[in-house]
């Protein structure tokens, strides 16, 4: 299979050769037309001069006087006089060598016409004035041979022009395709361990630069996906190892006792808590996987979102009682929305829980629920330590808790905000971090009034 460079070179050479051939033919045809037009004009001028000489010698014109008149025009070796007749048709002069040409003339044809005799081309012109009629013949052999020589010269030059265009096109296409070769070289070096490599397209042509930008963007997404996958694997392993280790230790202690039935209520409670924690993590991961794969079933029906938020406010106040966090709210009444009430209830509860867990004793939580012309918006504000700017883009990552130690003292799975955002997006909305300062942190949940983009369950 030929390379793109070879194909471009050959096609460029072929097109250039075709263009040169067409140009040559056009030039030769135009030159032939111009030369014949010039020859016709010379014949007309010669006829006018001959008429003038014949008129001057008319009083003594006879067959012996004609050669003297014609001798005045012997310098023209292309055009010659074939016949001279008087106005009444009497033949004054006739060239025996041109009799065949005169006989081949079409009497009903134009005054100036072409003919071909014995492989040679001639131009014949008939001219007249009030007293004489004149037939002139021009030999086109010289013109035709000149045109043939020009065509031969073009034909000889054509292969060299083709070779020159092919070589030039190969050089130009080589330079033009150099950025694509860099793309190939870098792309072959990209592996699962070398996803950070990028293609430098600063010096590339516009079209190639656009391709490089697309490829770099694709590699950015691949690197982000691989990073998230690796991080998820590590985080999931870390999060599940702790409850499993606790459960294993308690079970081993129970089995080590002589009476395995003597399991303390405290141990049983810890086992239950850790089991419930594992179940919560797995259920959240399952929901996240379905949501991000677009397979999350939404049991859509209209419900009173104001009433749902008010019910969840009671749970929020119960959660906020122990750290003595004050709760304030402003809920617009009777806001109806069509969506999956169960999933949205879970998403809102996750946001409320996050606001309490990342608060401080004596802090406050304030939220508002309102309706705009296009959406229902829930805004939740909580006091507490601000989220560092470098970490704000990660608040929706799986298992993110905002500290390197991955402390579990605050409880939770580290999946709440991520799951809440995916549920919002499944309904055509979104969950965003509005801002985080020393005064507090604000999240905004937006649910468009048109409801979910698609309904996969009822």
Q: Give me 450's structure tokens.
A: 């048109």
Instruction: State the pLDDT at residue 284.
Output: 64
The CATH number of 4-149 is which of 3.40.50, 3.30.450, 3.40.190, 3.40.1000?
A: 3.30.450
DSSP 181: H
Q: Which residues contact 367 (CB under 8 A, 6 or more apart)?
A: 309, 328, 329, 330, 352, 355, 378, 379, 380, 381
Instruction: State the pLDDT at residue 454.
Output: 46
State the span(s) of the chain assigned CATH 3.30.450: 4-149
CB-based contact 126:102 (threshold 8 Å): no
Report whether pLDDT(62) > 60: no
Q: Is 192 exposed, middle or buried (0-12, 13-18, 19+ CB in 10 A)?
A: exposed
CB-based contact 308:345 (threshold 8 Å): yes
Confidence of residue 1 (pLDDT cuts 50, 70, 90): very low
CATH class of domain segment(s) 298-448: alpha beta
Cα(121)–Cα(98) distance, rounded to whole angstroms?
A: 13
Q: Give me 374's structure tokens.
A: 């296009």
Cα(106)–Cα(109) distance, rounded to whole angstroms?
A: 5
CB-based contact 351:382 (threshold 8 Å): no
Instruction: State the pLDDT at residue 222.
Output: 76
Q: What is the pTM of this model?
A: 0.47
The CA distances from residue 327 to 16, 383, 386, in Å, are: 81, 11, 19
Axis-axis angle for helices 265-292, 206-256 (nearest 10): 160
Q: Give me 346's structure tokens.
A: 């879970």
Instruction: State the pLDDT at residue 367.
Output: 96
- pLDDT tens per residue, range 438-451: 999 999 999 998 87
The CA distances from residue 30 to 26, 27, 37, in Å, are: 6, 5, 10
Instruction: State the pLDDT at residue 437.
Output: 92
State the span(s) of the chain assigned CATH 3.30.565.10: 298-448
State the span(s) of the chain assigned CATH 1.10.287: 206-291
- pLDDT tens per residue, range 292-333: 556 667 888 999 999 999 999 999 999 888 888 999 999 999
Residue located via tokens 């005054």: 111
Q: Which residues contact 306 (CB under 8 A, 6 or more apart)?
A: 331, 332, 333, 334, 335, 369
Residue located via tokens 């009030």: 130
- pLDDT tens per residue, range 252-265: 776 676 555 555 66
Helices (H), 71-205: 99-103, 141-189
DSSP 260: T
Radius of gyration of the chain (CA): 50
Give the Cβ contact number of residue 429 at 10 Å. 25
- 206-291 folds as Helix Hairpins (1.10.287)
């Amino acid at each position: 299979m030929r390379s793109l460079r070879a194909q471009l070179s050959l096609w460029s050479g072929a097109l250039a050769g075709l263009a040169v051939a067409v140009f040559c033919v056009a030039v030769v045809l135009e030159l032939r037309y111009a030369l014949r037009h010039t020859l016709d004009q010379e014949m007309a001028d010669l006829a006018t001069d001959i008429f003038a000489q014949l008129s001057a010698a008319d009083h003594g014109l006879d067959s012996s006087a004609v050669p003297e008149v014609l001798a005045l025009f012997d310098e023209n070796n292309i055009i010659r006089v074939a016949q001279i007749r008087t106005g009444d048709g009497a033949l004054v002069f006739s060239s025996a060598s041109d009799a065949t040409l005169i006989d081949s003339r079409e009497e009903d044809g134009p005054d100036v016409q072409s003919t071909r005799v014995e492989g040679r081309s001639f131009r014949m012109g008939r001219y007249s004035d009030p007293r004489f009629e004149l037939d002139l013949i021009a030999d086109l052999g010289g013109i035709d041979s000149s045109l043939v020589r020009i065509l031969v010269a073009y034909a000889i030059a054509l292969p060299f022009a083709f070779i020159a265009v092919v070589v030039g096109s190969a050089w130009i296409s080589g330079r033009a395709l150099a950025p694509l070769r860099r793309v190939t070289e870098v792309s072959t070096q990209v592996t699962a361990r070398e996803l950070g490599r990028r293609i430098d397209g600063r010096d590339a042509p516009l079209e190639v630069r656009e391709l490089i930008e697309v490829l770099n963007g694709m590699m950015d997404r691949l690197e982000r996906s691989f990073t998230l996958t690796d991080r998820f694997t590590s985080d999931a392993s870390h999060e599940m190892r702790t409850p499993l280790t606790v459960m294993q230790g308690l079970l081993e202690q129970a089995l080590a006792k002589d009476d395995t039935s003597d399991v303390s209520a405290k141990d049983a409670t810890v086992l239950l808590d850790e089991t419930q924690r594992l179940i919560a993590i797995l259920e959240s991961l399952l929901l996240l996987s379905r949501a991000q794969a677009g397979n999350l079933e939404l049991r859509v029906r209209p419900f009173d979102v104001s009433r749902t938020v008010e019910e969840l406010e009671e749970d929020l106040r119960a959660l906020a009682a122990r750290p003595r966090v004050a709760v304030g709210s402003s809920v617009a009444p009777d806001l109806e929305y069509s969506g999956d009430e169960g999933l949205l209830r879970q998403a809102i509860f996750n946001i409320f829980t996050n606001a309490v867990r990342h608060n401080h004793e004596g802090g406050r939580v304030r939220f508002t629920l309102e309706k705009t012309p296009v959406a229902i918006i829930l805004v939740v504000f909580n006091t507490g330590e601000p989220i560092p700017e470098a970490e704000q883009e990660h608040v929706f990552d799986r298992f993110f808790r905002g500290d390197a130690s991955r402390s579990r003292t605050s409880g939770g799975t580290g999946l709440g905000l991520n799951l809440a955002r995916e549920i919002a997006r499944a309904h055509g909305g979104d969950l965003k971090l509005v801002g985080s300062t020393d005064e507090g942190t604000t999240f905004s949940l937006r649910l468009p009034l048109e409801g979910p983009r698609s309904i996969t369950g009822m």
